[in-house]
Amino acid sequence: MPVTLSRNYSLGIPRFRANSDLLRESIDADSTRMRERNESLTYAADFAYSMKNPPKNFFLLNTFYRTSISGRIESAERNQPTSRDSTFTIRGTYNYNLGFPSDKVSFRLFRNYRLGWFPSTWNNSITYNNINPRSENWERRLVDGQYISYWFPRQGVLPTELLTTDSNINWALTSDINFTARLNTKRDLKQKVMWKDINLGKLTDTMQDFGLNYNPNFLRSVLNFTASGSTRFNEVQRRYYTHVDGAQVEEYQSDGGSNRSFRANVSLMNATLLGNWAQKMTRNYQSRKARQDQEKERDKDKGKDEDKDKEKDKEEGLTEEDAKKRAEEERLKEEQRRKDEEKWREEEKLKEEERLKQEAAFWEGQQHDPFAGDYKDPFADGYKDDFFGGDFKDDFGGDMKDGFGDGASYHGSDPGRAYVPPKDVKYFPAMIVGYLSKLKNISASYQNTYTMNYTRKEERPPFAFQIGLPHSVDPSFLDATGNDNTFTLSSGIMFSRQLDSVINYSYTINKRYSNASNQNTAVTFPDITLSLMEFEKWVGLSKYLSATRLNTGFQRSQRASGNVDWEQPKQITDGYAFNPVIGFAGTLFKKVTTNLSFSMANSTNETDMDTYTIIKQNQTRALNGNFSYSFRGGRGFTVPFTKKMIHINNELTSSLSFVYERHFDDTTGREGNYQVERDGTRIAFTPGASYQFNRDIRGGLTGTWEKTTDRRRDDGVRIFRIGIWVEVNL
Summarize pLDDT for 215-258 with one digit per residue, the tens: 988 888 888 899 999 999 999 988 887 777 777 777 888 899 99
At residue 350, the pLDDT reads 78
Q: Is the pLDDT of residue 344 over 60?
A: yes
Burial class (CB in 10 A: 0-12, 13-18, 19+), 696: exposed
Give the C-alpha separation, 314 to 262, whole Å.
89
Residue 527 near residue 555, CB atoms below 8 Å: yes
Average of per-residue pLDDT across 53-61:
86
> In which band, very low, low, confident or very high, does the pLDDT at 184 lie, cut at 50, 70 and 90?
very high
Give the C-alpha separation, 465 to 189, whole Å.
28
Q: How far, CA to CA in Å, does 649 sit from each of 191, 227, 421, 638, 690?
A: 62, 52, 50, 15, 14
At residue 361, the pLDDT reads 57
Q: What percent of the chain has pLDDT over 70?
A: 84
> In which band, very low, low, confident or very high, does the pLDDT at 403 lie, cut at 50, 70 and 90?
very low
What pLDDT digit, counting tens, does each position of 447-495 carry? 999 999 999 888 889 999 999 888 888 888 899 999 999 999 999 988 8
SS3 state at 202: strand
3-state secondary structure 597-609: EEEEEEEEEEEEC
At residue 60, the pLDDT reads 86
In sequence order, which ranges of 575-718 are alpha helices (DSSP H)? Answer: none
List all residues 6 or more positions away from 54 whose beta carbon is below 8 Å from its beta carbon.
61, 65
Give the C-alpha separation, 80 to 36, whole Å.
7
SS3 state at 322: helix
Q: Is the pLDDT of residue 376 over 60?
A: no
> In which band, very low, low, confident or very high, does the pLDDT at 295 lie, cut at 50, 70 and 90?
confident
Q: What percent of the chain has pLDDT over 90?
A: 35
At residue 308, the pLDDT reads 61
Q: Is the pLDDT of residue 365 over 80?
A: no
Please give the residue that has the higher pLDDT: either 319 or 44.
44
At residue 218, the pLDDT reads 80
Say how many C-beta atoms besides its own lie within 10 A of residue 195's C-beta: 7
What pLDDT digit, counting tens, does each position of 516-562 carry? 889 999 999 889 999 988 888 888 888 888 888 999 999 999 999 99
Longest Cα–Cα distance of the chain, Å, equals: 152
At residue 521, the pLDDT reads 93
Vertex 695, ends 692 and 697: CA angle to 5°? 55
At residue 407, the pLDDT reads 35
Beta bridge partners of 163: 128, 187
Give the C-alpha separation, 567 to 98, whole Å.
57
Residue 62 near residue 75, CB atoms below 8 Å: no
> Residue 698: which of 648, 660, 661, 663 has the closest Cα?
648
Q: Is the pLDDT of residue 318 over 70?
A: no
Give the C-alpha separation, 361 to 368, whole Å.
11
Check residue 371 and report its DSSP letter: T
What pLDDT digit, counting tens, does each position of 424-445 carry? 567 788 888 888 888 888 999 9
Residue 417 near residue 440, CB atoms below 8 Å: no
SS3 state at 312: helix
Helix 320-368 vs helix 270-316: crossing angle, to nearest 10? 160
Of 197-211, 573-587, 686-700, the poorest mean pLDDT is in 686-700
> Residue 614: which of 622, 605, 623 has the closest Cα?
605
Residue 47 near residue 2, CB atoms below 8 Å: yes
At residue 384, the pLDDT reads 36
Give the C-alpha separation, 696 to 633, whole Å.
16
At residue 135, the pLDDT reads 92
Residue 629 near residue 654, CB atoms below 8 Å: yes
At residue 401, the pLDDT reads 35
At residue 625, the pLDDT reads 94
Most confident range (mean pLDDT) of 15-24, 231-240, 469-478, 657-666 is: 657-666
Beta bridge partners of 184: 166, 207
Mean pLDDT (the chain, rounded)? 82
Q: Is the pLDDT of residue 385 over 90?
A: no
Average of per-residue pLDDT across 13-32:
76
> What are phi and psi for residue 246, nearest 5 degrees?
80, 0
> In which band, very low, low, confident or very high, does the pLDDT at 627 lie, cut at 50, 70 and 90?
very high
At residue 427, the pLDDT reads 76
Check residue 412 and report its DSSP letter: -
What pLDDT digit, counting tens, does each position of 113-129 carry? 889 999 999 999 999 99
Please give the residue that has the higher pLDDT: either 272 or 326.
272
Give the C-alpha separation, 596 to 588, whole Å.
12
Give the C-alpha separation, 672 to 612, whole Å.
10
Beta bridge partners of 93: 70, 127
> In which band, very low, low, confident or very high, does the pLDDT at 684 lie, cut at 50, 70 and 90?
very high
Give the C-alpha separation, 687 to 654, whole Å.
8
Q: Is the pLDDT of residue 260 over 90?
A: yes
Q: Which helix (H) or strand (E) holds 294?
A: helix 270-316
SS3 state at 679: strand
> Residue 452: which of 422, 477, 420, 415 has the closest Cα?
477
119-141 CB burial, b ≥16 within 10 A, e <16:
bbbbbbbebebbeeeebbeeeee
At residue 603, the pLDDT reads 93
At residue 122, the pLDDT reads 92
Give the C-alpha separation, 249 to 254, whole Å.
16
SS3 state at 352: helix
> In which band, very low, low, confident or very high, does the pLDDT at 111 lie, cut at 50, 70 and 90?
confident
At residue 377, the pLDDT reads 37
Give the C-alpha separation, 180 to 163, whole Å.
24
At residue 398, the pLDDT reads 37
pTM assigned to the model = 0.72
What pLDDT digit, counting tens, does each position of 297-313 carry? 776 766 666 666 556 55
Beta bridge partners of 370: none
Average of per-residue pLDDT across 600-622:
91
At residue 71, the pLDDT reads 94
> In which band, very low, low, confident or very high, does the pLDDT at 368 lie, cut at 50, 70 and 90?
very low
